[in-house]
Amino acid sequence: MDPELGRNVVELGMIRDLEISDSEVGFALALTTLACPFQGQLRSEAEAAVLALDGIKTVDIRLEEMTPQERQEALAKARPTTQPTAELAAKLNKVSHVVAVLSGKGGVGKSLVSSLLAVALRREGQSVGVLDADITGPSIPKMFGISGHPSASPLGILPMDSSLGIKIMSINLLLPSEDDAVIWRGPLISGAIKQFWQEVIWGQLDTLVVDLPPGTSDASLTVMQSLPLSGVVLVTSPQDLAGMVVRKAAKMAEHLSIPILGLVENMSYFVAPDTGQRYEVFGPSHAQATASRLGVPLLGRLPLDSQIAELSDAGRIEEYPADEFLPIAQTLIKTMPEAKEPPPLTQ
């Protein structure tokens, strides 16, 4: 049975080019789209059904994609579901860890840290997604070079894939133009973030990285109260002002009983390419003092690097070596707890 269309694969015209030779069977399984989240399930169930027949020892299944006309005919045969989209998508999602990237101050590089964290985790062999919760200032699709609109199905929205296979969902992917402004009040922003969690088919992920907007208002509160967070990563910059504001964000996480996994200082220093000399452009680092004051580990200090800006603008952030980020990703893999439902908010 196709769980999305509610009919069996033969009735939907998905089985073609059937070949039988002694104990061997081969056929093509034509999907409505090769991005179908159920392709593994459909393939394994079809293989099991054929192997259950007497005398069959091997099954060779080739995946193909329907033509637009075939897809239209198959969808016309679908049996509509009565289950809510959020309930259906939730059954398909199994996310082991959810990490929110947070800072009380804008401009410290939360989106950059979110992106590089996702890339580093992916290079470590994890299946990774990025939920862009910065509804009014989304930048994740631009940095990953993703454009166009995600596919929708009766079960939910399919996130878009980056070149490394990182799943991405952002409000910018749903707008007619990436330059369009999202002029929404708090409740609408909160609703969109909940939909990105509940109605997107993330599938099986080792880690979902949530890029939060600056501040401690509706968006951050929605994520901390609605998503099963493993914890938050705080981002700051060398200025003492940034450290003061990030401590506010830490207090918010503490009030909501969300674990703080560690602190990352961005734009910490600059290495001159000709001499190798290190310069603290924004003054001496306060990262260790801030981490100690909060009682959390200092995960790392990231440099100012013009290559980051060039690759981000070109949509090629996945090409950045990010050597300084590898130990951060490895530390989080070892220390972050499993995702769990948020505790009830107390006064």
Q: Hey, what amino acid is at 215?
A: G
Measured in degrees and rounded to the nearest 5, phi and psi for residue 61 equal -115, 125
Cβ atoms of residues 205 and 96 within 8 Å? yes
pLDDT, the chain, mean: 87
Q: Hey, what amino acid is at 85?
A: T
CA–CA gap between residue 210 and residue 132 (Å, rounded): 6
How many Å separate Cα 216 from the centre of its chain?
21
Does residue 252 sit in the same domain as residue 304? Answer: yes
In this prediction, residue 82 carries a pLDDT of: 54
CA–CA gap between residue 235 and residue 25 (Å, rounded): 56
Does residue 111 sit in the same domain as residue 174? Answer: yes
Provide the percentage of residues in the chain whose pLDDT is more than 90.
46
Return the higher-pLDDT residue of 245 and 320: 320
Strand partners, 200: 157
Does residue 129 sit in the same domain as residue 51? Answer: no
Does residue 147 sit in the same domain as residue 275? Answer: yes
Q: Does a structural domain hold residue 141?
A: yes
Query: What CATH number has the domain bearing residue 225?
Result: 3.40.50.300
Does residue 43 sit in the same domain as residue 169? Answer: no
Q: Does a structural domain hold residue 6?
A: no
Least reliable range by pLDDT among 28-42, 45-59, 93-107? 28-42
Query: What CATH number has the domain bearing residue 36?
Result: 3.30.300.130
Alpha carbons within 13 angstroms on the beta-carbon side of residue 242 total: 27
- Judged against a pLDDT cut of 80, whether residue 64 lies above it is answered with yes
Strand partners, 60: 26
CA–CA gap between residue 123 and residue 206 (Å, rounded): 13
Does residue 198 sit in the same domain as residue 330? Answer: yes
In this prediction, residue 298 carries a pLDDT of: 94
Does residue 121 sit in the same domain as residue 53? Answer: no
Long-range contacts of 15-19 (CB under 8 A, 24+ apart): 15/46, 16/64, 17/62
What's the pLDDT tens digit per position in 279-318?
A: 988 888 888 988 999 999 999 999 999 899 899 999 999 9
- Judged against a pLDDT cut of 70, whether residue 79 lies above it is answered with no
Highest mean pLDDT: which range of 66-70, 74-78, 199-203, 206-210 = 206-210
Query: What integer is the mean pLDDT of 219-226?
Result: 87
- Positive or negative torsion for Cα 300, 306, 309, 315: negative
Does residue 161 sit in the same domain as residue 59? Answer: no
Q: Hey, what amino acid is at 21?
A: S
CA dihedral 37, 41, 47, 51 (to 10 degrees): 180
Does residue 70 sit in the same domain as residue 200? Answer: no
In this prediction, residue 39 carries a pLDDT of: 81
Question: For the chain, how many structural domains are there in total?
Answer: 2
Q: Does a structural domain hold residue 105?
A: yes
Cβ atoms of residues 192 and 185 within 8 Å? no
Cβ atoms of residues 336 and 121 within 8 Å? no
Does residue 30 sit in the same domain as residue 97? Answer: no
Strand partners, 25: 20, 59
Strands (E), 112-166: 128-132, 152-153, 156-157, 160-161
**Domain span at 94:** 89-335
Structure tokens at 53: 């027949």
What's the pLDDT tens digit per position in 115-135?
A: 999 999 999 999 999 999 999
Does residue 161 sit in the same domain as residue 286? Answer: yes
One DSSP character per residue, 102-123 reads E-SSTTS-HHHHHHHHHHHHHH
Q: Does a structural domain hold residue 83?
A: no
114: pLDDT confidence band, cut at 50, 70 and 90?
very high
